[in-house]
Amino acid sequence: MEWWKDALIYQIYPRSFQDSNGDGIGDIPGIISRLDHLQELGVGAIWLSPVYCSPNADNGYDISDYREINPEYGTMEDMEELIDQAGRRGIRILMDLVINHTSTEHYWFKESRDKTSPYADYYYWSPGGADGALPNNWTGFFGEDCWEFDPQRCEYYLHLFARSQADLNYHNPAVLEEIKDILRFWLDKGVAGFRCDVINILWKDSLESSKKRLALTGSEHYLSLEGTHDILRQLREIWDEYGAFTVGESVFVTPQRARDLCGKDRRELDLVFSFEHMECDQYFLKWFKRKFRPKIFFDCLVKWQKELDWNAIYLENHDQPRSIPRFGSEKFWKESGKLLATLVLTLRGTPFLYQGQEIGMTNFDFTRMRQLNDVESKNVDKVLRRFHVPQKLRWKLIAKTSRDNARTPFQWEGGEGAGFTSARPWLGINHNCAAINLADQEGDGDSIWSWYKDLSALRREREVLRRGEFVPLEAGRQVFAYRRELGEERLTVALNFSDDPAQVSLDGQLLRSNYRRERFEGILQPWEAVILE
Ligand code: ISL
Ligand code: CA
């Protein structure tokens, strides 16, 4: 029952995890070869970023066939083998379900170009204004227009993301039936559930222009609408048949909106990924960075701990820069890496780790636009160029925010290829792999990797860390402290998010410190994390 409340979930970005056949691209046999690593970490489930057929405009988030594996990643037999091999280790597989849009290479879309086809209404088509104007004034997520003209149909189609990601039209009931079949297909293969991509924007209530002129113009016509809840309740019927688990990526949600999606009584999703804590170093959109202020971050975490009974706890994924340079300190790389590990593994909720986080991987060290792959970065660069933003400034902005920061290959070893590949990798390997790699950390009891394993084990041992209540104690400018309580059991966590020491008045016996000290007397060293009993 609710296995996911006790599990640690690990996200794999297949392209960058492990190459097995020397083509520079991570693949499914590569994942299978690394299952022992995940088992050692105590992983209960893998969230697999998309491995379906895709022309890779957005690395798999543009699906051209939901029932086939991208040949770059292997075959359906490989996928079945992965489900089986993971299962033998007690590890479940969660697929990434991308159903807001498909690739324009999907045959539904190709058919849809023909107005007489049964697929004609699978997408949002519009002739646009008489004078050749776009159908409305909405803006997309990737910094470009969200309408593209199709010369064959002589109409525009809606795409909230990249041009080759066309939004599906759920006003057509046939679309939902297709999705239900796809769910059954994968559940029959033995996957345990889904991470549902941008799940709170499925339903568009109308294609009217928006009166709002700010960024994400038009979002009032698709953000968290009743139509989406209705779709989710229908999908839930299938998930319930199989006992499947679902976590939805929900953009721009408030706690209330989040509860509407994953409240127990709602019978929609089990969990949601919210973004507020990931937005506390920016103004509204990630392009407008501001200095990270720990206090804002703590307050946000406390708010979500209080507002939701159960959160998806994460600091990294394939869309976000790495957490150490962002919330920690590169100067105190090891200490802050362990501190962030402590945070993720001791808050109340289901912890999600992103590949490489467990060895403290940092952002890319690219210096030129040419080294990037991320479609979002490329689009934004184009837009900024249109506004005559100088190259240096463009690069500064993009280097800080590019999703490729988290997508460089996993650093298994030092040396060329980093143990990831014997070929030229599809995306550059960070040169710091000589200093940050799993092989070195495996032999080191004091490494970030050892700390993750240790805390993951502690979390499995101590029910209070999994099911205990969350009680905030301090959320200051430097220190975040809280207690977990279950019956008579009490554990206190104190984290110093600062290059300076900090004094706290907490009592209890020292259970863990990332400074490997014997006793704790109230002074936290820079980036020290302690757990007291
Ligand atoms: O990453 C973001 C900003 O940089 C988010 O706005 C992101 O686009 C949003 O969270 C949706 O992300 C998901 O859907 C996208 C895909 O590109 C992302 O990788 C995925 O996580 C479209 O499928
Ligand atoms: Ca490969």
376 lines ligand 1 (CB under 6 A): yes
Q: How far is the CA of 141 from the centre of ligand 1 (A)?
A: 8
**Reported confidence tier of residue 212, pLDDT bands at 50, 70, 90:** confident
Q: pLDDT of 283-293, one tens digit each?
A: 888 888 899 99
Q: pLDDT of 472-492, one tens digit each?
A: 999 999 999 999 999 999 999
The mean of the pLDDT values for the chain is 97
Q: What is the pLDDT of residue 91?
A: 98
Section 108-137 average pLDDT: 95
Q: Judge whether 358 and 17 are in contact, CB under 8 Å.
A: no
The token pair at 531 is: 């757990």
Round to whole Å and give the CA distance between 479 and 259: 29
Q: What is the pLDDT of residue 99?
A: 98
Instruction: Name the closest ligand to CA 201.
Output: 1
Q: What is the pLDDT of residue 65?
A: 98
Q: How far is the CA of 377 from the centre of ligand 2 (A)?
A: 25
Q: Is the pLDDT of residue 213 over 90?
A: no
Section 518-526 average pLDDT: 95
Instruction: Name the closest ligand to CA 248.
Output: 1
Q: Which residues contact 288 (CB under 8 A, 6 or more apart)?
A: 282
Q: Is the pLDDT of residue 507 over 90?
A: no
The closest residue, in CA terms, to atom 10 on ligand 1 is 251
286 lines ligand 1 (CB under 6 A): yes
The closest residue, in CA terms, to atom 7 on ligand 1 is 319
Q: What percent of the chain has pLDDT over 70?
A: 100
Q: Among residues 144, 175, 185, which one has the least CA distance to residue 162?
A: 144
98 lines ligand 1 (CB under 6 A): yes
Section 160-184 average pLDDT: 98
Q: What is the pLDDT of residue 131?
A: 84
Q: pLDDT of 321-352, one tens digit each?
A: 999 999 999 999 999 999 999 999 999 999 99
Q: What is the pLDDT of residue 83?
A: 98
Q: How far is the CA of 22 from the centre of ligand 2 (A)?
A: 6
Write b or e for each residue in 358-375: b if 16 or more Cβ atoms lie within 10 A of its Cβ, otherwise e.
Answer: bbbbbbbebeeeeebbbb
Ligand 1 atom showing the smallest separation from residue 101 Cα: 23
Section 2-25 average pLDDT: 98
Q: Is the pLDDT of residue 432 over 90?
A: yes
314 lines ligand 1 (CB under 6 A): no
Q: pLDDT of 255-289, one tens digit each?
A: 999 999 999 999 999 999 999 999 999 988 888 88
Q: How far is the CA of 53 from the centre of ligand 2 (A)?
A: 15
197 lines ligand 1 (CB under 6 A): yes
**Reported confidence tier of residue 130, pLDDT bands at 50, 70, 90:** confident
State the virtual CA torsion across 286, 526, 342, 287 in degrees, nearest 10.
0
Section 403-430 average pLDDT: 98
Section 203-230 average pLDDT: 92
Q: pLDDT of 42-61, one tens digit each?
A: 999 999 999 999 999 999 99
The token pair at 530 is: 């302690």
Q: pLDDT of 369-389, one tens digit each?
A: 999 999 999 999 999 999 999
What are the DSSP E strand ranges found in 368-503? 469-475, 479-486, 489-496, 502-503
Q: Is the pLDDT of residue 129 over 90?
A: no
The closest residue, in CA terms, to atom 8 on ligand 1 is 141
Instruction: Name the closest ligand to CA 59.
Output: 1
319 lines ligand 1 (CB under 6 A): yes
Name the one residue in this structure whose structure tokens are 């905030």.
472
Q: What is the pLDDT of residue 40?
A: 98
Q: Judge whether 113 and 149 are in contact, CB under 8 Å.
A: no
Which residues are tagged catalytic?
197, 249
* DSSP per-residue letters across 491-527: EEEEEE-SSS-EE----S-EEEETT--S---SEEPTT
Pairing of strands 9-12, 65-69: unpaired
Section 417-434 average pLDDT: 98
Q: What is the pLDDT of residue 240?
A: 98
Q: Which residues contact 391 (CB under 8 A, 6 or more apart)?
A: none
Q: How far is the CA of 512 from the centre of ligand 1 (A)?
A: 36
Q: What angle do CA 221, 223, 224 make, to 5 degrees?
A: 120
Q: pLDDT of 138-153, one tens digit each?
A: 999 998 889 999 999 9
Q: What is the pLDDT of residue 143?
A: 80
141 lines ligand 1 (CB under 6 A): yes
Round to whole Å and give the CA distance between 315 and 301: 11
Q: pLDDT of 454-473, one tens digit each?
A: 999 999 999 999 999 999 99
* pTM metric for this prediction: 0.98
